[in-house]
Amino acid sequence: MLKRTMLFWAQYILVLPILFLTFMFTGFVGSQLMIGADKQHFIFTPQNATEYSQISEIDKLLFAFSIQPVVTIVFLLSIVYVLTLIVFQIIECKRKRKILHSLQYMILIPIFIYLWLGIIQFSAVSLTWIDNWKDYLIFTPSTITDEQDIYTIDKFLYKFRRLPIPSTVLILSFLYLLILVVIDSIRLLKKFLIRTSH
């Protein structure tokens, strides 16, 4: 049982970096798909789309596949592999009628990192890329002259306004992870105090 658990986690730890490295590369290539110049690549995106946020993620993925097919295939296979590992772990937990605490981390961490990279790091929806960025400032002083000085919170709020669903899931997954970490820390502290008291 211990060997099986170790093998499972070894696979998970090995495939996760591959997943996110290929995701970053695929996401970067896919983000090059532009509204004006690349409408011939639109399949799921309406031809009358006027904003980058309207471009379908599937079209971005297909565009990345047309440029870098090998990396895109590795990215898709790594997604399938991670999902397969999670499904098998869920089946194992149900068979033994127990809830694996680490399974929550296993599901939440990829979701959080995927959304964080997709929304915060590699999204073309950015406050610094629009001309009227001063109209969206809330916490940043309006006296700034360079858009690079915009506070991160204002950048995120702009992304939240344009991408509400993924931004909400990002916040909720972060809060859930934070709660799990706090609960685990309290448990470990209690165990430590019990051991030291004896």
- Report pLDDT for 63: 86
- CA-CA distance, 49 to 46, in Å (whole number)? 5
pLDDT of residue 198: 66
Asked if 32 and 64 count as a contact pair (C-beta separation under 8 A), the reply is no
* pLDDT tens-digit readout, 144-194: 877 778 888 888 888 888 888 888 999 999 999 999 889 888 988 888 888
Place of tokens 């002259």: 145
Look at residue 178 in the predicted model and tell me its pLDDT.
92
pLDDT at 61 over 60: yes
pLDDT for residue 38: 64
Which residue in this structure is represented by tokens 């940043």? Answer: 140
Q: Determine the average pLDDT of the residues in 123-148.
A: 78
pLDDT score for 89: 80
Cβ neighbours for 11, distance < 8 A, ≥ 6 positions apart: 81, 85
Read off the pLDDT of each residue in 43-61 and give the average, rounded to a whole number: 77
> Cα-atom radius of gyration of the chain, to the nearest Å?
21
* Non-local CB neighbours of 43 within 8 Å, separated by 6+ positions: 56, 58, 59, 62
Return the axis-axis angle of helices 69-95 and 2-30, rounded to nearest 10°: 150
Per-residue pLDDT tens over the stretch 73-129: 999 999 999 889 888 887 877 776 555 677 788 888 888 888 887 777 666 667 777
pLDDT at 37: 62
- Residue-level pLDDT at 44: 78
End-to-end CA distance of the chain: 31
Quickly state the pLDDT bin for 52 (edges 50, 70, 90).
Answer: low
Return the pLDDT at 2.
60
Question: Which ranges constitute the DSSP H helices of the chain?
Answer: 2-30, 57-67, 69-95, 101-115, 152-162, 164-197
Q: What predicted TM-score, i.e. pTM, was given to this entire model?
A: 0.67
**Residue 96: its pLDDT value, please?**
66
Spatial distance between the Cα atoms of 20 and 39, rounded to a whole number of angstroms: 28
